[in-house]
Amino acid sequence: MTEQITLTAEQVEIIGERFDAIRTRIINDLGAKDREYIYKIVRAQRGFEIAGRAMMYLPPLWPVAVGSLGLSKILDNMEIGHNVMHGQYDWMREPGLNSREFEWDTVCPADQWKHSHNYLHHTFTNVLDMDRDIGYGILRMAPEQKWHPYYLGNLAYAGALMVLFQWGVMLHDLEAERIVKGERKWGDIKELVAGMRRKAGKQVLKDYVIFPALTGPLFPLTFLGNMSANLIRNLWTFSIIFCGHFPSGVQTFTKEETADETRGEWYVRQMLGSANIDGGRLFHILSGNLSFQIEHHLFPDIPANRYPEIAAEVRATCEEFGLPYNTGSLRGQLGSTWKKIAKLSLPNRWTKQEPELAVTIERARHEEAARGALAKAGWQRAAEREMVSV
């Protein structure tokens, strides 16, 4: 059973103009409060790291040290690294917060992440065979992906990716599935591998050699503490990112469906291909405000601390035009995501199909200038309807 939603070209244009206006308004309002916000986050991140490193010298405080260091790595990756490398703070013209110069506390080189994430993912969000974040090259995350017995291990692969997430992100740009198929040769990836070795080598030396060595006889405990902090960060970032992209109701698209996309149509695709997570202010900060994944995909270069204030406008727009605004608790979105991972490990014919939502955009095009005739081209995508809402 399919629920049909139809948007006219005029409605899509209104949505595009409305979101362009929101972006312009926020960009024009950036200033001291945004600068002070990111300064506070950076100070907090550094404070947690220093405290965590210091407490490694005191074995009774080891659990607190691990927690503090884990928080430091989460803040560095999410609210600082991810957002800074999106160019959200380039307007400040500060080297330490500039997207072209920033490097984060993880094994993935910043320049490689910006290619796979900022360009491929945010340009082609949820477009099959274009957005490699759909399954990260190892998972089946959409029913349109052809099933293979390999995907019986979907849950195991996802679990491994969650535990080793920083390494999975590092290897992402290699396009390993293409290497296996013989579509990429050593010459294509040689420079990428060299960059990975340099960055991963520095991270391993820092976390597993230098800092443990500085604690002398506590080397094994510090080594384990640093590994635990990295694990905490991996589990958290995986959960937030997957909850923003793969819960029930999030849609995928084909290249044909998104051909010649207008700005307004791009905005609609971002809304249909993302999901939010409900929570309080601290939760949103620790998520890098990626708990507002819909708003992030609409406005990736706006400072993420502004997403909460525009979320109400985005939601109201969805309601006005009858579009879904996918949001729910962390528990609900995470459960929905893992359920999808399990379901897609099996062939489609073996599982119960969920009710579908089809959004059609009527595109007005001049077929023949002499006649001034308008033609309609369907733009639709069927997706699981089992929405998780507030």
Residue 382's Cβ-count burial label (10 Å; 0-12, 13-18, 19+) is middle
Domain that holds residue 366: 359-388
Q: Are residues 165 and 264 in the same domain?
A: yes
Q: Which of 84, 105, 126 is the last residue of a domain?
A: 105
| Helix, strand, coil percent content, the chain, rounded in steps of 5 | 60, 5, 30
Strand pairing report for 327-328 and 276-277: parallel
Range in 216-220, 256-260, 304-308, 376-380 the model is least confident about:
376-380
Classify residue 187: in a domain, yes or no.
yes
**Per-residue pLDDT tens over the stretch 263-289:** 999 999 999 999 999 999 999 999 999
Q: Are residues 21 and 89 in the same domain?
A: no
Q: Which of 105, 133, 162 is the last residue of a domain?
A: 105
pLDDT band per the 50, 70, 90 thresholds, residue 377: very low
Greatest mean pLDDT among 6-10, 174-178, 357-361: 6-10
Q: Which DSSP string corresponds to 105-142? A: SSSS-HHHHIIIIIIIIHHSTTBTTT-TTTGGGT---S
Classify residue 335: in a domain, yes or no.
yes
pLDDT given at position 385: 38
The Cα 193–Cα 112 span in angstroms is: 10
Classify residue 4: in a domain, yes or no.
no
The Cα 180–Cα 218 span in angstroms is: 42
Q: Are residues 280 and 225 in the same domain?
A: yes
Classify residue 285: in a domain, yes or no.
yes
Q: Is 235 left (phi over 0), alpha (psi -120 to 50) or beta?
A: alpha
**Average pLDDT of the residues in 170-197:** 87
**Average pLDDT of the residues in 76-88:** 97
Q: Are residues 153 and 43 in the same domain?
A: no
Q: Are residues 291 and 142 in the same domain?
A: yes
Classify residue 375: in a domain, yes or no.
yes
**Per-residue pLDDT tens over the stretch 19-67:** 999 999 999 999 999 999 999 999 999 999 999 999 999 999 999 999 9
The Cα 358–Cα 226 span in angstroms is: 47
Q: Are 390 and 327 in contact (CB under 8 A)?
A: yes
Phi, psi of 330 (to 5 degrees): -60, -45
Classify residue 51: in a domain, yes or no.
yes
Range in 31-45, 126-140, 202-216 the model is least confident about:
126-140
Which of these, 50, 49, 65, 45, lies nearest to 222 by C-alpha position? 65
Q: Are residues 363 and 352 in the same domain?
A: no
pLDDT given at position 289: 97
The yes-or-no verdict on residue 375 having pLDDT over 50 is no
Both tokens of 260, joined, read: 């010649």
Could you tell me which residue, 382 or 317, shows the higher pLDDT?
A: 317
The Cα 234–Cα 43 span in angstroms is: 22
Q: Are residues 315 and 366 in the same domain?
A: no
**Per-residue pLDDT tens over the stretch 354-374:** 766 778 888 754 333 333 323
pLDDT given at position 383: 40
The Cα 206–Cα 104 span in angstroms is: 13
pLDDT given at position 103: 95
Both tokens of 273, joined, read: 């291909």
The yes-or-no verdict on residue 255 having pLDDT over 50 is yes
Q: Are residues 161 and 190 in the same domain?
A: yes
Q: Are residues 240 and 350 in the same domain?
A: yes
Total domain count for the chain? 3
Classify residue 112: in a domain, yes or no.
no
Q: Are residues 306 and 363 in the same domain?
A: no
Could you tell me which residue, 63 or 378, shows the higher pLDDT?
A: 63
Both tokens of 188, joined, read: 């294509």
Q: Which DSSP string corresponds to 260-326? A: T--HHHHHHHHHHT--EE---HHHHHHTTTGGGHHHHHH-TTS-GGGHHHHHHHHHHHHHHTT----
**Distance between first and last Cα of the chain:** 24
Q: Are 69 and 49 in contact (CB under 8 A)?
A: yes
Q: Are residues 26 and 39 in the same domain?
A: no
pLDDT given at position 182: 82
Q: Structure pTM?
A: 0.89
The Cα 125–Cα 274 span in angstroms is: 9
The Cα 288–Cα 304 span in angstroms is: 7
pLDDT given at position 376: 35
pLDDT given at position 2: 65
**Per-residue pLDDT tens over the stretch 219-254:** 999 999 999 999 999 999 999 999 999 999 899 998
Q: Which of 42, 73, 105 is the last residue of a domain?
A: 105
Collapsed DSSP state (helix, strand, coil) of residue 149 = helix
Query: 17 vs 20, 271, 304, 316, 351, CA distance in Å?
Result: 5, 15, 21, 15, 41
Which of these, 31, 65, 60, 61, lies nearest to 48 by C-alpha position? 65
Query: 167 vs 108, 163, 164, 171, 309, CA distance in Å?
Result: 7, 9, 6, 6, 34
pLDDT given at position 370: 31
Percentage, residues of the chain above pLDDT 70: 92
Classify residue 2: in a domain, yes or no.
no
**Per-residue pLDDT tens over the stretch 313-348:** 999 999 999 999 999 999 999 999 999 999 999 999
**Average pLDDT of the residues in 195-211:** 97
Q: Are residues 375 and 270 in the same domain?
A: no
pLDDT given at position 49: 98
